[in-house]
């Protein structure tokens, strides 16, 4: 009983604190990104690019916004899962659509993080990616399924090569380890 009362009081206090601080606070640039204040000509507003002091600072902000490989891998992971389901549905056009997008997206990641280009091209873009494209063109269910499993292995091998093996112990790869009987 006492603990329940205490938790009510804590919730009320937290709400009161957050509304009072929200009311007091003016817009301000976050501490988590260095040198934003120094590169700003006007008080912080939604014009986060236009109010930067010059193009150098604007491009720096866009680079930060664009993030690293993870921004594209997130999307690659999504498309990879869509392909898995498209294979079950035997929707080859959809699989092909996502597979094509994966190359463009991957190249964007490599433009931002060129250190990853050698592994990405040797292990995936110039080899494994082409094999799955050919399998899709064949419309042969068994070779498409087989080739998809090879892609899965390549994705995971690159994560190991890039020293992030923990990425592989995850639902995205577990759930695509095999296909239901057709
Ligand atoms: C260059 C080798 C390479 C290949 C090939 C590769 N990855 Fe990645 N992947 C990475 C790296 C490096 C990261 C971590 C990026 C970071 O944290 O900036 C990553 C991260 C991920 C993530 C986590 C993204 C997140 O939310 O932070 C997923 C999901 C993923 N990869 C899926 C895939 C799939 C699916 C494939 C195959 C179609 C694939 N990867 C092929 C290198 C690769």
- pLDDT digit string, tens, across residues 136-179: 999 999 999 999 999 999 999 999 999 999 999 999 999 999 99
pLDDT of residue 26: 85
Could you tell me if 40 and 31 are in contact, meaning their C-beta atoms sit under 8 angstroms apart? no
Distance 76 CA to ligand 1 centre (A): 8
Report the first-to-last Cα separation within the chain, whole angstroms. 57
Tokens of 101: 């997008």
All residues at 6 or more sequence positions from 167 whose CB lies less than 8 Å from its CB, including other chains: 156, 159
> Is the beta carbon of 156 within 6 A of some atom in ligand 1?
no
pLDDT of residue 67: 97
Which parts of the chain have pLDDT scores under 50? none
pLDDT of residue 40: 97
Which of 69, 73, 158, 172 best tests ligand 1's pocket when mutated (most atoms within 8 Å of CB)?
73
> Is the beta carbon of 112 within 6 A of some atom in ligand 1?
no
pLDDT of residue 32: 97
pLDDT of residue 182: 75
> Is the beta carbon of 158 within 6 A of some atom in ligand 1?
yes
């Amino acid at each position: 009983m006492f603990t329940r009362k205490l938790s009510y009081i804590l919730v009320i206090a937290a709400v009161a604190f957050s509304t009072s601080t929200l009311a007091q606070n003016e817009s301000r640039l976050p501490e988590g990104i260095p040198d934003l204040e120094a590169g700003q000509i006007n008080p912080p507003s939604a014009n986060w690019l236009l109010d930067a002091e010059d193009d150098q600072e604007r491009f720096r902000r866009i680079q930060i916004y664009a993030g690293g490989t993870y921004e594209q891998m997130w999307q690659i992971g999504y498309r990879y899962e869509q392909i898995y389901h498209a294979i079950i549905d035997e929707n080859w056009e959809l699989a092909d659509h996502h597979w094509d997008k994966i190359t463009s997206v991957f190249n964007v990641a490599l433009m931002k993080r060129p250190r990853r280009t050698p592994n990405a091209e040797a292990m995936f873009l110039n080899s494994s990616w082409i094999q799955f494209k050919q399998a899709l063109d064949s419309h042969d269910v068994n070779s498409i399924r087989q080739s998809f499993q090879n892609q899965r292995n390549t994705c995971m091998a690159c994560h190991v090569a890039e020293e992030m093996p923990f990425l592989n112990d995850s639902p995205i790869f577990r759930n695509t380890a095999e296909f239901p009987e057709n």
